[in-house]
Amino acid sequence: MIEVWHAFIKAIELIVSLDPEVMEIAGRSLGISATSVILASLICLPLGGLIHFYRFPGKRVLINVIQTLFSIPSVCIGLLVFVLFSRAGPIGGLNLLFTPTTMVIGHMMLITPILLGLTISALSGVDKAIKDTALSLGASDFQAVIIISKEARFAIVAAIIMGFGRAVSELGIALMVGGNIRGFTRVLTSAIALESQKGELEMAIALGIILLSLSFIVNVVLNRIQQR
């Protein structure tokens, strides 16, 4: 028990002293997760809108599939990306395996169902009367879509927060397609796994605390933005 307590104290020291390696790993985690969330949002928010606003055959089935994929294990995505990008894979020639780029791609695939599904449910959560009111006040169809999306903004930001949380906390993709290469693809989760296996508890705990703090800060910032 004392050993754990010591590790905890040392972890705090590592954070307070802005240990270069710890900071570098945290920065990379934030960068990769943020990039994937931003890119995925750019695709998923409009796409979710299209799925919500247009009627087409198989819509309900599609939404069910999307919701099922909420809980897809990250190792499955990791495996898929690994197979796609490995030397013998269909796009192995790009030589992208074990780079931050493939990690971003993996993360995007992981959180796309969450962003799509939650965007659709955010938009369906808007009272139908809002659309009628907008149209009756002379909004074109496009202007009505914009105002409905604005009404759904809280729920949409919640979707983005969920997506970020999933991306920053997953391990499967980071290990399988990132490779946990020191100074290149090592992120918080893969570093925690490695350090605790090595018995470097203080380092693992420090990284764990940072991971939690990072999620907390992103949450606070996004909440601030949506309250404006």
Please identify, among the stretches 19-27, 77-85, 100-108, 133-141, the one whose residues bind other proteins according to the rule CB under 8 A: 133-141
Query: Alpha carbon of 92 to those of 173, 175, 178: distances in Å?
Result: 17, 18, 15
Please identify, among the stretches 72-80, 129-137, 162-170, 207-215, the one whose residues bind other proteins according to the rule CB under 8 A: 129-137
- Let me know: does 183 contact 113? Beta carbons within 8 Å: no
Return the residues of window 149-168 that contact other proteins according to CB under 8 A.
150-151
Is the CA virtual torsion 190, 20, 107, 104 positive or negative?
A: negative
Distance CA(80)–CA(75), nearest Å, equals 8
DSSP 176: I
By CB under 8 A, is residue 124 in contact with other proteins?
Answer: no
For the CB of residue 111, give the shortest distance to other proteins in the complex, in Å.
Answer: 26
By CB under 8 A, is residue 227 in contact with other proteins?
Answer: no
Which member of 140, 217, 221, 223 binds other proteins (CB under 8 A)? 140
Please identify, among the stretches 14-22, 27-35, 139-147, 179-187, the one whose residues bind other proteins according to the rule CB under 8 A: 139-147
Distance CA(148)–CA(75), nearest Å, equals 36
Q: How many residues does the chain have?
A: 228
By CB under 8 A, is residue 130 in contact with other proteins?
Answer: yes
Which member of 16, 18, 129, 199 binds other proteins (CB under 8 A)? 129
For the CB of residue 141, give the shortest distance to other proteins in the complex, in Å.
Answer: 8
Given the complex with other proteins, which of 69 and 130 has the nearer CB atom? 130
Burial class for 102, CB neighbours closer than 10 Å (0-12, 13-18, 19+): buried
- Let me know: does 98 contact 179? Beta carbons within 8 Å: yes
Residue numbers at the binding site for other proteins (CB under 8 A): 127, 129-130, 132-140, 143, 147, 150-151
